[in-house]
Structure 1
Amino acid sequence: MKALRFHAAKKLLVEDIDNPTEPAADEVVIENRFTGICGTDLHEYAYGPIFVPKEPHPFTGAHGPQVLGHEFGGVVRKVGREVKHVREGDRVSVQPFITPRGGDYYTDRGNFQLSDMMALAGLSWISGGMAEKALLKGYNVYAVPEELADEDAALVEPTAVAVYACDRGGVKQGDSVLVTGAGPIGLLTLLAARAAGAVQLFVSDPNSTRLKIAKSIIADLVTINPKEESVGDVVRAATEGGVGCDVALECVGNTQALQACVDAVRKRGIVVQVGLHPGEAPINWFNVVYKDIDLRGSWAYPGQIWPRVMRLIASGQIPARKVVTKIVSLDEVITEGFDALLDPAGKHLKILIDLNR
């Protein structure tokens, strides 16, 4: 079968590899349909290996070369005898965490993303979404509602990141919310905040093209270019009493963006760090203390969130497909997908791979 595999930084190859093995009792084989290119995939391509194991993964044994892709969905083609919740022919969305079951403090409590043994399909597992087929654990796949299109099934994963970030921020009806970063996760976070009841939305990004796209998706969104105006000043001027927003979510992994969140949030507000910083990020700790701010991390999502996120997309409350700006084939994904997303001009947000093209 055809697959895109990571070999080293700047070395991705579309190759012919073996089809998945027959599934074990607790496994399934799916025919992949659509797969999203994530920022994590871009980082592996540009600077990796980062999450792709250099040595065999302690739980899965996986290591490079690695089939990429952890945002995907498809159709079940083979089912292990112990898997009862899906059948051959079911359309599914993939929750990509693969962890030991039993004996781990966090996985025993359903927090698979927090386990030190956590692996991820498309990064540290034998299979990934950027291939024609994938071998997965049964618990990785969720049958999708009829209202959910195949493209939507590949968008559940990034949308889950956004929904969980809003959960961590306690976003509620009537809130004012700032998101720094108008990339795919930032825009999905804005949509998730709106679905949670936020009525006043701000987004900050130095890329004017992305700000225009964001405005086209959410008409009443206040867009801010931090190169031209102070994020905090704009937010305070527009919020009740001039105090700042209730919740600020940093979706870039950028020091200036985090500093802007701390500045823009009101006293006793909440700042959620969603984007991954490459290193230490200094902030004004006097403001954190003086303003009585809650500063929280948001790492991925709990696996149990999948049905809820699918319902939010299927109902139209989170129109996730609006962040998709391009669909490419596997053969053209390196130049038309990865390189296009790394272009500093930033003309695209989310690019999907159509495995049937």
Structure 2
Amino acid sequence: MRAAVFHAAHDLRVDTVSDPGEVGPGQVLLKPFWCGVCGTDLHEYAMGPIVIPSTPHALTGATAPQILGHEFSGEVLEVGAGVTNVKAGDRVSVMPLLFCGQCYYCRRGLNHLCQRMAAIGLSYAWGGIAELAVVPADHVSVLPDSVDDVQGALIEPGAVAAYGVDTAGVRPGDNVLITGAGPIGALAALYASSIGANVFISEVNPFRAEFARGLDVGEVLDPSSIDVPAYLKDSLEGVGVDAAVECSGNERALQAALASVRSAGRIAQTGLHTRPAAIDPMVLSEHDITLAGTWCYPVTDWPRIIDLVARGLYPVEKVVSTQIPLDDVVAGFDTLFSPSGDQLKVLIRAY
């Protein structure tokens, strides 16, 4: 079978690899439909291996070369012994986080913080940018007819964005700043709007800013041309927004979020920073501001996110800017990695 395989930084190939073979107990064999390219994938492509293990992973034994892809939907082709939650022919979305179930965090239900955490498509034998994949059966959720294959591939990034907004304590009627209109920022804006929040989006990239305007969920601000915190305070009774979700992983954006929230406001840091960022902790103290980090999502969130999509409340498909075949995967990565790239969310057709 064919798959997109990471070998080293800037060495991503469409290789012919052995098919999975016999499906083990508690596993399912999938035919992936669509798989999204994540920022983590891009970091691996540019500078990896980072998350991808160079020596056998403690939980899975996986090591590079690695089949990529952890945001995907697919069809169940075969189920292993003991599997009862899905059957052949079901369409599913994959929750990719693998956890030990035994460590300090797993025993407390914080499986996304597992001390030996792995991920399908990053530190596991299989990934979603491939013609076939074997995954644990308890990591897939059946998609109802009202959720299509593209939407199914966006449940994972949709869960990331939703966790950020939820961590920021957003409630109906709140004014919320989303910094960064990349895929997670755009999804956070859609989710916050679905809750009933008044959304403001800060984005300096012209393409992404225009894409965000097309979502029609709130005002889009250009931080290169206006003072975003001052504008928000002038517009909102002199106090600023109730909450902010920082989705860019940019130091200036984090500082803008701190300056934009009202006293007793809450900020969720969802974008991943690749280097340290400076803030003034006195601002947190003087204004009773909460700054909370987020990592991935609760592993139990798939049914809830799927239900929101099914009911039309969370239109995750709106963030897709292009869909490409497996053969074009390297070009797709290069386009997303380019600072002048004109794409937001790229989905790869694996079949």
RMSD: 1.0
Aligned twin of 2:235? 238
Query: Matched residues in 1 for 2:94 and 2:56: separation?
Result: 23
Q: Does 1:285 align with 2:281?
A: yes
Q: Mapping of 1:42-121 within 5 angstroms?
A: 42-101=42-101, 103-121=102-120
Unaligned runs of 5+ in 2: none
Aligned twin of 2:9? 9
Query: Matched residues in 1 for 2:206 and 2:312: separation?
Result: 27
Q: Does 1:270 align with 2:269?
A: no
- The amino acid across from 1:328 in the alignment is I
Say if 1:210 and 1:346, in contact at 8 Å, map to a contact too: no
Q: Does 1:195 align with 2:191?
A: no
SS class of match (1:332): helix
4+ runs deviating over 6 angstroms: none
SS class of match (1:333): helix
Aligned twin of 2:316? 320
- The amino acid across from 1:210 in the alignment is R
Q: Does 1:295 align with 2:291?
A: yes
Aligned twin of 1:138? 137
- The amino acid across from 1:232 in the alignment is P
Say if 1:110 and 1:304, in contact at 8 Å, map to a contact too: no
Query: Matched residues in 2 for 1:21 and 1:204: separation?
Result: 48
Shift of 1:51: 0.5
- The amino acid across from 1:290 in the alignment is E
SS class of match (1:331): helix
Unaligned runs of 5+ in 1: none
Aligned twin of 2:328? 332
Shift of 1:68: 0.5
TM-score, normalised to structure 2, is 0.98
Q: Mapping of 1:122-161 within 5 angstroms?
A: 122-161=121-160
Aligned twin of 1:247? 243
Query: Matched residues in 1 for 2:77 and 2:108: separation?
Result: 31
Query: Matched residues in 2 for 1:80 and 1:143: separation?
Result: 16
Using the aligned pairs only, state the percent identity: 44
Say if 1:14 and 1:330, in contact at 8 Å, map to a contact too: yes
Aligned twin of 1:208? 206
Query: Matched residues in 1 for 2:100 and 2:339: separation?
Result: 40
Query: Matched residues in 1 for 2:342 and 2:108: separation?
Result: 41
SS class of match (2:88): coil
Say if 2:128 and 2:350, in contact at 8 Å, map to a contact too: no
Say if 1:71 and 1:155, in contact at 8 Å, map to a contact too: yes
Say if 1:110 and 1:303, in contact at 8 Å, map to a contact too: no
Query: Matched residues in 1 for 2:87 and 2:204: separation?
Result: 47
Deviations 1:186-240 (A, max 9, x none): 0000111111221x21111110111111011125x2111111111101211221x
Query: Matched residues in 1 for 2:232 and 2:38: separation?
Result: 29
SS class of match (1:54): coil
